[in-house]
Amino acid sequence: MSSASLDNVRPAPPISSKLWRVPGVWVGGGLVFLFVFAAIFANAVSPYSVDARFGKNLPPSWQHWLGTDSNEKDVLTRVIHGSRLSLVASITSISCAVIIGVSLGMLAGYKGGRTDMLIMRLIDIWLSFPSLLIAFLVIAALSPGWIAVILAVALINVPVFTRQIRAEMLSLKHAGYVESSIAAGATPFYLVLFVFLPAVTGTIWVLATLGLGHAILEVAALSFLGIAGDPSHAEWGSMLVEAKEHLAITIWPAIAPGVAISLTILGFNLFGDGLRELLNRRTRSF
Amino acid sequence: MWGVLLKRLVQAVATMVIAVLVVFLALRILPVNPVMARFGQHAVPEKIELEMERMGWNKPVWQQALAFGNQLLHGDLGESFARPGERISVRLGEALSATLELTLAAMLIAVPLGIFVGTVAAIWRNSWPDWISMAVALLGVSVPVFFLAICLILAFPSMPTGLRKPPGTPDFHTGFYFFESLVTGNFRMAVVCGRHLALPALALSTIPLAVISRVTRNAMLEVLDADYLRTARAKGAGILRVIARHAMPNASLSVLNIVGFQLGVLLSGAILTEKVFNWPGLGNYVVDGIRDYDYAVVQACALVTAGIFVVLNLTLDILFLLLDPRLREGRQS
């Protein structure tokens, strides 16, 4: 984008006028809200305490809407409580990814030259390996546990932010208002905090929302593989792997966390795509 | 063209060297002493000392690195940590061919089906075939493959899960049981192995399927509006001929591109699918390695995977050079 097109844009119509035309924001936002609500008020909305024991593998009934699992625990309660670990792990790792990724992207885009080449080559190498392989290395090096999982998921998600922010920095650097604040003697610190960061905030939100969807999936996947934290914690991935062993007896302990993961990821995907359309950000779609 | 090729080759070698270094260092900064992890907390110190000596873990890091590099150059991946005496290359070879067969089968389902669905969606754009394919694609990226795999097991309870072939069947020459049976004309065995392969491959195929169909649709839409297609239609070519001879070759570049990008996602998916079906592939091997603190295994798996990816990416680059005349002449598209 040339500097002329940035300077001569017409004022965008207020976002509220576009909101009703993007159903994804509503449906996705609703799903995300439901999930966050369940996580925060898990103790209040779940019918039983998380470790209460009932009968083994009970079918769904009025007492236990989704039945009980092989550990005699209520499936609905565990699914509601499971949203907590997923949410905390995902938000923490995406926050780390945003901080690392945006810093690297800004540095690469602003400095250019050697720094840019070095960072982008590293990111290219990073991206050329399957994400699970990177996660495995991190977890093997730190030994299995939630901290390792969070760090692994954060590192997997860094390249997306770096690439996009760098691309925007390249055009931003030559925008009229940026050039004039540089000419007016703005320090790099001021530039980053008050000029660049506000300009890329929308992009960060869109990418972070989509990234949260990925993070939920990756966290569940790692704990499904049994290399996350304590498998007895209420967590969707470990519930699934536990339920997989008892499919012949009861299917609900497997269906419930699986549907919960899918709906949450669907919610973040729809919400992120809708947000992108609303904020008119051009980023990758899948 | 040769200049570009040479540059790619140098990049590939550099990537591989960095990968070896990263893998080596990552597993040497660990807080857990792997020998201690194996013998437990209360092991006799002399015994630990002896084992460390034997594995060469008490030498300085740079000496270990040299020894490791030397070992790699001789094509030796070392021996398992948790099971002393077990050569990693043998087990890894079996696991790798199992994963490759699964991935190949999934691609054989996903590519034709994805291109077909995408083309249909592009022709009837903004009507129900398009909407259905879009909904399916959205579901495809939202439903985790390990949950989908469990649903498939529930939907087809009579299909075998677990091993790759029934116990007692004779050994194969290659690790590709299904494809080998097909090629050697042993169709009864092909059916047996195919039944073991069907559900894992079907589950895994949904990952590339969703993306391939969407990319095909968009690429087709772009091409279908082009002037040269209108000319072809005006000259009396039927819609099928136009799509097969004129639109498809141009759209295929985008599809190939996305298949290349999807390989990493596909391998991650394969690891998860293997876990559900107890498929004895790379995924199960490396996950067991992580849990047993068997760093030699993790290291070997990571390196082999990295190697495969470097080679695959290089192959795709060369394919692009051959297929896209603009790249061949050194112009940027």
Residue (of A78, A70, A85) closest to A47 by Cα position: A78
Would you state the pLDDT for residue B61? 76
Please indicate, yes or no, if residue A19 is contained in any of the structural domains: no
Mean pLDDT, residues A126-143: 83
Q: Which amino acid is at A192?
A: V
Residue (of B232, B211, B247) closest to B118 by Cα position: B211
Would you state the pLDDT for residue A50? 78
CA distance A39 to A207: 22
Would you state the pLDDT for residue A4? 46
CA distance B74 to A143: 30
Say if the Cβ atoms of A140 and B287 lie within 8 Å.
no
- For the stretch A50-64, pLDDT in tens is 777 887 777 888 877
Would you state the pLDDT for residue B200? 93
Q: How many CA atoms lie within 13 A of A39 on its CB side?
A: 20
DSSP B65-84: HHHHHHHHHTT---B-SSST
Residues of chain B contacting A252 with CB distance shorter than 8 Å: none
Which 3 state secondary structure label does DSSP give A68?
Answer: strand
- C-alpha dist (Å) from residue A260 to A30, A76, A255, B266, B330: 14, 10, 9, 23, 49
Is B286 an 8 Å CB contact of chain A? yes
Please indicate, yes or no, if residue A248 is contained in any of the structural domains: yes
Residue located via tokens 């060369």:
B318
| Phi-psi domain of B236 (left: phi exceeds 0; alpha: psi -120 through 50; beta: other) | left
User: Which range marks the domain in which residue A220 is found?
Assistant: 31-284
Nearest Cα of chain B lies from the Cα of A120 at a distance, in angstroms, of 13
Contact present, B207 and B266 (Cβ < 8 Å): yes
Please indicate, yes or no, if residue A230 is contained in any of the structural domains: yes
Of B19, B26, B153, the CB nearest to A247: B153
Residues of chain A contacting B19 with CB distance shorter than 8 Å: 125, 129
Would you state the pLDDT for residue A157? 94
Average pLDDT, chain A: 84
Q: Is B264 exposed, middle or buried (0-12, 13-18, 19+ CB in 10 A)?
A: buried
Token output for A63: 């007492």
CA distance B200 to B224: 35
Please indicate, yes or no, if residue B312 is contained in any of the structural domains: no
User: Which residues lie across from B79 on neighbouring strands?
Assistant: B87
Would you state the pLDDT for residue B159? 81
Number of domains comprising chain A: 1
Say if the Cβ atoms of B287 and A258 lie within 8 Å.
no
Angle at A57 between CA A51 and CA A60, to 5 degrees: 95
Q: Where are the alpha helices (DSSP H) in B56-186?
A: 61-73, 88-123, 128-142, 145-155, 177-183
Say if the Cβ atoms of A133 and B302 lie within 8 Å.
yes
Interface subset of B 207-226, CB within 8 angstroms of A: 211, 214
Contact present, A24 and A263 (Cβ < 8 Å): no
Would you state the pLDDT for residue A264? 94
Residues of chain B contacting A245 with CB distance shorter than 8 Å: none
Which residue of A136, A138, A153, A271 is the best one to mutate when testing the B interface, meaning the one whose CB has the most B CBs within 10 A?
A136
Would you state the pLDDT for residue A280? 67
Would you state the pLDDT for residue A18? 66
Q: How many CA atoms lie within 13 A of A116 on its CB side?
A: 13
User: Which range marks the domain in which residue B149 is found?
Assistant: 90-292
The percent helix, strand, coil of chain A (3-state, each to 5) is 70, 0, 30
Would you state the pLDDT for residue A13? 57
Residues of chain B contacting A261 with CB distance shorter than 8 Å: 144, 147
- For the stretch A221-234, pLDDT in tens is 999 988 887 777 88
CA distance A85 to A224: 13
Q: Is A282 exposed, middle or buried (0-12, 13-18, 19+ CB in 10 A)?
A: exposed
Please indicate, yes or no, if residue B11 is contained in any of the structural domains: no
pLDDT > 90 in chain A, percent: 34
Please indicate, yes or no, if residue B50 is contained in any of the structural domains: no
Contact present, A95 and A207 (Cβ < 8 Å): no
State yes or no: ipTM above 0.95. no
Please indicate, yes or no, if residue B83 is contained in any of the structural domains: no
Interface subset of B 118-147, CB within 8 angstroms of A: 138-139, 141-144, 146-147
Say if the Cβ atoms of A141 and B142 lie within 8 Å.
no
Please indicate, yes or no, if residue B16 is contained in any of the structural domains: no
Say if the Cβ atoms of B291 and A227 lie within 8 Å.
yes
Nearest Cα of chain B lies from the Cα of A259 at a distance, in angstroms, of 8
Q: Which amino acid is at B3?
A: G
Which residue of B28, B96, B142 is the best one to mutate when testing the A interface, meaning the one whose CB has the most A CBs within 10 A?
B142
Would you state the pLDDT for residue A30? 93
Residues of chain A contacting B267 with CB distance shorter than 8 Å: 130, 132-133
Q: How many residues does the structure list for chain B?
A: 333
- For the stretch A231-282, pLDDT in tens is 778 889 988 888 888 888 888 888 999 999 999 999 999 998 888 888 765 5
Please indicate, yes or no, if residue B329 is contained in any of the structural domains: no
Say what the alpha-carbon torsion angle A182, A186, A189, A191 is, to the nearest 10 degrees: -50
Query: Which CATH number do you get for residue B174?
Result: 1.10.3720.10
Token output for A118: 């070095």
Is B151 an 8 Å CB contact of chain A? yes
Please indicate, yes or no, if residue B242 is contained in any of the structural domains: yes
Q: Model confidence at A108, in pLDDT bands (50, 70, 90)?
A: very high
Interface subset of B 154-193, CB within 8 angstroms of A: 154
Please indicate, yes or no, if residue B15 is contained in any of the structural domains: no
Say if the Cβ atoms of B298 and A265 lie within 8 Å.
no
Q: In sequence order, what are the residues at sequence separation of 6 or more whose Cβ sits closer than 8 angstroms to the Cβ of residue B227?
A: none
Contact present, A52 and A78 (Cβ < 8 Å): no
User: Which residues lie across from B87 on neighbouring strands?
Assistant: B79
Is B36 an 8 Å CB contact of chain A? no
Nearest Cα of chain A lies from the Cα of B257 at a distance, in angstroms, of 13
Residues of chain A contacting B305 with CB distance shorter than 8 Å: 129-130, 133
Would you state the pLDDT for residue B264? 78
Token output for A171: 């055009």
- Greatest CA separation found in chain A? 73
Would you state the pLDDT for residue A98? 96
pLDDT by residue for chain B (333 residues), tens only, comes to 677 788 888 888 888 888 888 888 877 776 556 666 666 666 677 777 777 777 666 777 788 888 888 888 887 777 787 777 778 888 888 899 899 999 999 999 998 999 889 888 888 888 888 888 888 888 888 899 999 999 999 998 888 877 777 776 777 777 788 888 888 878 888 888 888 888 999 999 998 888 888 888 888 888 877 788 888 888 887 778 888 877 787 777 778 877 777 777 888 899 999 988 988 899 889 888 888 888 888 888 888 888 888 888 888 888 887 777 776 665 443
Residue (of A129, A61, A136) closest to B294 by Cα position: A136
Contact present, A129 and A71 (Cβ < 8 Å): no
Q: Is B221 exposed, middle or buried (0-12, 13-18, 19+ CB in 10 A)?
A: middle
Residue (of B71, B58, B95) closest to B20 by Cα position: B71
Please indicate, yes or no, if residue A72 is contained in any of the structural domains: yes
Please indicate, yes or no, if residue A71 is contained in any of the structural domains: yes
Question: Which residue in A has a C-alpha nearest to residue B154's C-alpha?
Answer: A247
Say if the Cβ atoms of B264 and A258 lie within 8 Å.
no
CA distance A135 to B298: 12
User: For residue B109, how far is the Cα from the chain centroid?
Assistant: 14
Nearest Cα of chain B lies from the Cα of A1 at a distance, in angstroms, of 18
Query: Which CATH number do you get for residue A148?
Result: 1.10.3720.10
Number of domains comprising chain B: 1
Question: Which residue in B has a C-alpha nearest to residue A269's C-alpha?
Answer: B142
Say if the Cβ atoms of B26 and A241 lie within 8 Å.
no
Please indicate, yes or no, if residue A11 is contained in any of the structural domains: no
CA distance B130 to B235: 28
Of B26, B141, B143, the CB nearest to A141: B26
Which 3 state secondary structure label does DSSP give A221?
Answer: helix
